[in-house]
Structure 1
Amino acid sequence: MKVTEVKVFPVNEERLKAYVSITLDDCFVVRDLKVIQGTSGLFVAMPSKKRKDGQFRDIAHPLNQETRAMIEDAIFAEFEKELKAMGASLENLKRQKAPGSFDDGDDY
């Protein structure tokens, strides 16, 4: 399986950085993935739905780490192109912490 297309829709919000749609093998589309600024940097959130109990549950997600990495790599590559077009850098975003998080320098 290959990611054959990635469409990135940048968002200017505090934690949410972009919505993403991907196409797999030119025949299956997954929409509403998100690039989010987390406490440890950027990550890709799979499409999810809020349940009646208030928790979110993934609608679609990779079943193994290899597939997750393939999807994330494709998304971050396209996201970086979008950032460059806007004059920003993926490396700078990946190093940033989410607003409200802190790093006191203690790694234990």
Structure 2
Amino acid sequence: MPNLDIRITSMYPPGTQGSTRAYASATIDGCFAVRGIKIVEGGRDGLFVSMPSRKTQEGYKEVCFPVTAEFREQLHSAVLDSYRQALTMAQADAPQQTSPTEAPTEQPTGMQMAGM
């Protein structure tokens, strides 16, 4: 099986970009790259991978795609695994929310926006 390097290039919270949750790029065996892979929420199974496509008179046609079912499964699994990992890391990096009854235990530091 080919070696895959998957990078999540952008992520969107639900409701901001329709059903698109993220975009990804895949490098296959270090010699062929695919950009514009979409992670989309919907369908019967929740998240799915949409390969780059273009609109035609008959609908949408994929520009590039896995030829075999084996490689399609490997690529889609790798993309979804990378997305879930990026989502977990983003949630871990998000500032912790405090309830309105709790007072913050320390003062925020760093840059502040003008006018605040």
Gaps of 5+ in 2: 93-116
Cα deviation for residue 42 of structure 1 reads 0.7
Structure scoring higher RCO (CA < 8 A, sep ≥ 6) equals: 1
- Report the identity percentage: 30
How big is the alpha-carbon RMSD for the aligned residues of Structure 1 and Structure 2?
A: 1.7
The structure where helix makes up a greater share of residues is 1
Q: 2:67 aligns with which of 63, 68, 72?
A: 63
Measured in 1, the distance between the counterparts of 2:76 and 2:3 equals: 10
Gaps of 5+ in 1: 89-108
Q: 1:46 aligns with which of 47, 51, 62?
A: 51
Measured in 2, the distance between the counterparts of 1:2 and 1:74 equals: 12
Measured in 2, the distance between the counterparts of 1:35 and 1:16 equals: 6
- Secondary structure at 2:7's aligned position in 1? strand
Residues 89-108 of structure 1: per-residue CA shift (max 9 Å, x gap): xxxxxxxxxxxxxxxxxxxx
Aligned residue number for residue 4 of structure 1: 4
Q: What TM-score do you get using the length of structure 2 for normalisation?
A: 0.68
Does the 8 Å contact 2:4/2:75 carry over to 1?
no
- Secondary structure at 2:39's aligned position in 1? strand
What is the correspondence of 1:58-97 to structure 2 with a 5 Å cutoff? 58-87=62-91
Measured in 1, the distance between the counterparts of 2:4 and 2:67 equals: 19
Residues 12-52 of structure 1: per-residue CA shift (max 9 Å, x gap): 3231001111000001001111000112111000110112x
Measured in 1, the distance between the counterparts of 2:39 and 2:28 equals: 18
- Higher radius of gyration, 1 or 2: 2
Given residue 44 of structure 1, which amino acid in structure 2 is its aligned partner? Answer: V
Q: What TM-score do you get using the length of structure 1 for normalisation?
A: 0.73
Residues 45-96 of structure 1: per-residue CA shift (max 9 Å, x gap): 0110112x161110001112111110011111111111101228xxxxxxxx
Is residue 18 from structure 1 mapped to residue 22 from structure 2 by the alignment? yes
Is residue 29 from structure 1 mapped to residue 33 from structure 2 by the alignment? yes
Measured in 2, the distance between the counterparts of 1:48 and 1:38 equals: 18
